A and B are shown apart, each in its own frame.
Chain A
């Protein structure tokens, strides 16, 4: 019997990159195929071609043995292909039902929306596949785990039997991931065929029937979890051997560097986002802030770096009150900031690499002399840093926007690390980076810690937090629900805390031994 789906020689070029290079792929009926690869390996491009969002330059697609052309999402939907996008395609101000029915509306008298009929159908699907959800809830009020269920219901509502899940676990807590895996297995049991896109090795080993690995736009091999090991998969993915464990020495905490007392921050909509946070970070230690994205981490960091004014509370750095200080006053206290959104807050994309490397020091000697910039000095320093931090760029005069994500991040790290600092605030420092760059940035952070710098690390990736932190704070709905020594923390317990379970309950639920510290990308 012909496979449910077969791709032959799919090729797609974007200006400057060959995103997909003659990729072949088969999906059998009722199997879970994992599509494994680093960011930029071409996974999402391939799936967008399959869903009709992009047109391939070459190649053929067969569904159940028949050659098909997919020009737009409607064609894909008609062929029974459904996609759960990495960034949810849900309208926040619509109800679950409205989101599900959009595009295939049920009508009364051919004129008015029949919300009740659609809601009944949502309930039916929700029951059949154990996807618990209330059809009348508004999306904006739902946790991400439930939003994802809505996305899956949306696909099933359109009677898809080939499901593409694009990085579905990126925004979930460990418990929600377990829940999702149950759902995926139940979908498989009811005859659906599933493509599961990810860059996390552990998940692949747990859920896949078969694994196809992509690297730099090419399919480099297909294997099964039984045959493969994590090390082997990592090697296929990166093309060389990778260190999966971050090596670090025992921490030697010194004086308190960052001292935060009862901090409250209100976002631009007037919603309280940081609600009474108290903590400190000592020299020579890493405090990791874990938590699902959107629990106030962004606003906490913005308040600490002077980008947002706190409503209440006190922030001291090295004993100096900087609560209402300007960002420059704060950075002059020896604070380095690696922001969450590197392209928006970390770099001026249109500026050349050398200017981006002095954004925090351009106004002082040796880079400035009176009103003049000392360009020669800036070029020299930039070349040195590009070499020292291994920034891969044709030269330091090209706009930083032409660099890859990993090299953009290295540019920020180079800028922030090459002046005397006492506090490093790093927010999602490895988001969207390839394994090689992650390895490098983690080593740099640990090195800073060992030099006696205080580090505040904010990340939704639990593995990253566990790998680097000496102490771990869990943030939930704007509060630190617990601060614990990293040695005592387990994935299980942190996952529960991240989901809002209280510290005492999380301790009680404690069972698994401390997790092995692994590189978070995997």
Chain B
């Protein structure tokens, strides 16, 4: 009986595997049809591995690849993995999926830059930069949802933060005060969300949406009325990049990670801090208990409501930093609705990263990469309409959420108000 059941389970599992195998073969076919077919045989692709201004200790040679053979190689890799998956099946498909995804991106880059040169370091460095607001949004999401409060108002909090940083930064002529103002404003919105969803038990999606609409409306109005009219109110300046001593001189890694402004480094610090706090401190243990089984925490004398308030407001402060990055961390001025859905992509990164800071940061980099790829390709004049290229980060978000991650398990009590009875 046990053997029969085992066999039947294998049959069921195999049915699921077939889908993955077919997907791998489809990727191979895509590379073949779109990239191999349109590449002339004698072209080469050059990837630059040094920053534009040489700052590293060592100059790396450029990576020069023969375009067509490389593409063929990647096609064969994908086809082989697909065939193997269909014939035998991998025990775990995670790594194979990673290889196929990497192969597709590599093929795309090789094809896009065929006969030209592309600076890989520049693109990766800009990926990191673009991932920062996404990562901070994801951290905000983690802080809230680990205590079981869904926060879809991150977008609105960041937008408000961006506005406040630009405005207060301009009138005080201090970027730090601007950053502080961004955090406080965003924290205030978070406090409102907390009161609505914890005390008044309003549906958390509704209260989050309300805050988003409020933030969009208010910042757009104030911006149109004041910031765009009086330019001295919208000229805060930006945090300048600070290359970190020693670290920034490491080839490849240095220019990609350690030649950025202070907000980027704050993000790195928060990554470590939140990870340690969540898994190694009393606060973290209680937070996770409140998110998974609030009643259990309550019966052991943990104050469920207080924990949730603290976490949501902390999340708001973090989202404020993310908002400030848009203005005083990158372009130095506020424009209407400039967060462009990054708060929502941050939530996707949080889910993709399975509600862990490390996972969320990794996913943010993937989304950041998709974002920077899109700009790079426009410069390379790839024959794809720019409207489609602009979709890239959002497409990646959808593909990742729908297909790749499968079942990510949120905290068990996520989104449920706590009733003490």
Which residue numbers of A lie inside 8 Å of B, CB to CB? 51, 53-54, 72-74, 77, 83, 85, 89-94, 98-99, 101-105, 107, 111-113, 154, 262, 264, 266, 269-270, 272, 275-276, 311-312, 478-479
Expressed in whole angstroms, the Cα–Cα distance for A154 and B296 within the complex equals 11
Contact A102 B9 (CB under 8 A): no
* Nearest CB in chain B to that of A99: its residue: B296
Q: Which of B74-82, B287-295, B321-329 contacts A (4 or more CB under 8 A)?
A: B287-295
Inter-chain contact B301/A113, CB cutoff 8 Å: no
Contact B299 A53 (CB under 8 A): yes
With beta carbons under 8 angstroms apart, the residue of A54, A85, A111, A269 that contacts B299 is A85
Q: Which residues of B contact A99 (CB under 8 A)?
A: 296
Contact of A103 with B281 at beta-carbon distance under 8 Å, contacts A91-B292, A272-B9 already known? no
Quick one: CB contact mask for B263-306 with A, threshold 8 Å, 1 for yes?
00000000000000000111011101100110111111110000
B92 within 8 A of A: no
The answer to whether residues A103 and B300 also contact, given A89-B293, A113-B285, A264-B8 and a CB cut-off of 8 A, is yes
Contacts of A74 in B (CB 8 A): 301
Give the CA-CA distance A310 to B244 in the complex, in Å.
Answer: 59
Q: B292 touching A103 by the CB < 8 A rule?
A: no
- Nearest residue in A to B276 (C-beta to C-beta)? A112
Task: Tell me whether A266 and B12 are in contact (CB under 8 A).
Answer: yes
Chain B positions 1-55 with a Cβ under 8 Å from a chain A Cβ: 1-2, 4-5, 8-9, 11-12
10 more contacts with CB within 8 A, not counting A105-B285, A113-B282, A275-B8, are A54-B421, A73-B299, A89-B293, A89-B296, A90-B296, A102-B286, A113-B280, A264-B8, A270-B407, A478-B5
Closest to A269 in B: B407
Q: Is there an interface contact between B9 and A94, defined as CB atoms closer than 8 Å?
A: no
Question: Separation in Å of the B280 CB from the closest CB of chain A?
Answer: 5
Q: Which residues of chain B have C-beta atoms less than 8 A from A101's C-beta?
A: 285
Closest chain-B Cβ to A94's Cβ sits at a distance in Å of 7
Pairwise interchain contact B1-A479, C-beta atoms closer than 8 A: yes
Within 8 Å by CB of A73, from B289, B292, B300, lies B300
Pair B285/A276 contact, Cβ less than 8 Å: no
* Residue B202 CB within 8 A of the other chain: no
Compute how far the CA of A103 lies from the CA of B292 in the bound complex, rounded to whole angstroms.
15
Nearest chain B CB to A53's CB is how many angstroms away?
7
Known: A113-B281, A266-B12. A83 touches B299 (CB 8 A): yes
For residue A277, which residue of chain B has the nearest CB? B5
- Bound state CA distance, A90 and B12, in angstroms? 33
CA distance A240 to B323 in the complex (A): 70
Residues on B with beta carbons closer than 8 Å to the beta carbon of A479: 1-2, 5
Chain A residues with CB below 8 A from B407, complex form: 269-270
- Pick from B2, B11, B282, B299: contact of A107, CB below 8 A: B282
Interface centre among B2, B285, B412, by most A CB within 10 Å? Answer: B285
**What would 13 A/B residue contacts be, using CB atoms closer than 8 Å?**
A73-B300, A74-B301, A91-B289, A94-B292, A102-B300, A103-B301, A107-B282, A113-B280, A113-B284, A262-B8, A275-B8, A276-B4, A312-B11
Q: In the complex where A91-B288, A98-B285, A103-B297 touch, is A264 in contact with B302 (Cβ < 8 A)? A: no
Report B-chain residues with C-beta under 8 Å of the C-beta of A54: 421
Does the CB pair A102–B12 fall under 8 Å? no
Taken together as a complex, chains A and B put the C-alpha atoms of A264 and B1 apart, in Å, by 13
Residues of A contacting B284 in the complex (Cβ-Cβ under 8 angstroms): 113
Chain A residues whose CB sits within 8 angstroms of the CB of B296 once the complex forms: 89-91, 99, 102
> By the criterion CB–CB under 8 Å, are B12 and A272 in contact?
yes
How many angstroms from the CA of A305 to the CA of B286 in the assembled complex? Answer: 41
Scoring A83, A104, A111 by chain B CB atoms within 10 A of each residue's CB, the highest score goes to A111
Instruction: Tell me, in angstroms, the Cα distance from A172 to B421 when the chains sit together.
Output: 28
User: Which residues does chain A contribute within 8 Å of B280, judged by CB atoms?
Assistant: 112-113
Contacting pair A311 B301 (CB below 8 A): no
In the assembled complex, the Cα of A276 lies from the Cα of B12 at a distance in Å of 12
Write out the residue numbers on chain A whose beta carbons fall within 8 Å of the beta carbon of B299.
51, 53, 73, 83, 85, 89
Task: Collect the chain A residues with CB atoms within 8 Å of residue B421's CB.
Answer: 53-54
Measured between alpha carbons, how far is A269 from B406 in the docked complex, in Å? 10
Those 4 A-B pairs whose CB atoms lie nearest each other, nearest first: A103-B300, A89-B296, A74-B301, A276-B5
Assembled-state Cα–Cα distance A85/B281 (Å) = 27
Q: Cβ of B9 and Cβ of A275 under 8 Å apart?
A: yes
Contact A275 B292 (CB under 8 A): no
B11 to A, closest residue via Cβ = A312
In the bound assembly, the distance between CA atoms of A270 and B406 in angstroms comes to 10
Known contacts: A53-B421, A54-B421, A105-B282. The answer to whether A94 contacts B289 by CB under 8 A is yes
Beta-carbon contact of B12 and A92 below 8 Å:
no
- Determine the distance from Cα of A82 to Cα of B197 in the docked complex, in whole angstroms: 31
Residue interface bits B69-108, CB-to-A below 8 A is 1, else 0: 0000000000000000000000000000000000000000
Complex alpha-carbon distance, A53 and B292, angstroms:
19
Chain B residues with CB under 8 Å of A94's CB are 288-289, 292
What CA separation (Å) do A128 and B268 show in the bound complex? 47
CB-based contact B295/A311 at 8 Å: no
Kindly state the separation between the CA atoms of A72 and B302 in the bound complex, as whole angstroms.
Answer: 10
Q: Which residues of A contact B2 (CB under 8 A)?
A: 479
A102–B292 contact, CB under 8 A? no
Q: Which residues of A contact B301 (CB under 8 A)?
A: 72-74, 77, 103
With most chain A CB atoms within 10 A of its CB, the pick from B4, B282, B299, B407 is B299
Chain A: minimal CB distance from B351 (Å): 16
Q: Mark B372-394, 1 if CB is under 8 A from A, else 0.
A: 00000000000000000000000
A112–B281 CA distance with the chains assembled, in angstroms: 5
A478 CA to B4 CA, complexed, in Å: 13
A264-B9 in contact given A89-B296, A103-B301 (Cβ < 8 Å): yes
How close is A320's CB to chain B, nearest CB, in angstroms? Answer: 24
Residue numbers in B under 8 Å from A90 (CB-CB): 293, 296
Q: In the assembly, what is the distance between CA of A103 and CA of B290, in Å? A: 11
Report the bound CA distance from A113 to B12 in whole Å: 43
Note all chain A residues with C-beta closer than 8 A to B286: 102-103
